[in-house]
Amino acid sequence: MRSKKGAVELSMSTIIIIILGVTLLSLGLLWVRGTFSKITDISKSSFEQADAAISEIFQDVDSPLVISPPQISIPQGGADQVNVLITNEQADDAQFVAKVKSLDPGVLECSFADTKTGTSKTYSLPSGRQAKFGLIVDVKPEGKIGKLLVCDVEVTGLTGDTSEQLSVIVSKEKGLF
Annotate 118-157 with DSSP letters as a single string.
Answer: SB---EEE-TT-EEEEEEEEEE-TTPPTT-EEEEEEEEES
Instruction: Flag whether 177 is in a domain.
Output: no
pLDDT by residue (tens digit) across 109-140? 999 998 999 998 888 888 888 888 888 988 88
12 plus 76 within the same structural domain: no
32 plus 17 within the same structural domain: yes
15 plus 95 within the same structural domain: no
114 plus 29 within the same structural domain: no
Contact 169, 147 (CB under 8 A): yes
pTM confidence score? 0.62
17 plus 83 within the same structural domain: no
102 plus 36 within the same structural domain: no
Please give the residue range of the domain that contains residue 92. 62-171
pLDDT by residue (tens digit) across 8-61? 566 888 889 999 999 999 999 999 999 998 998 898 888 888 877 776 665 556
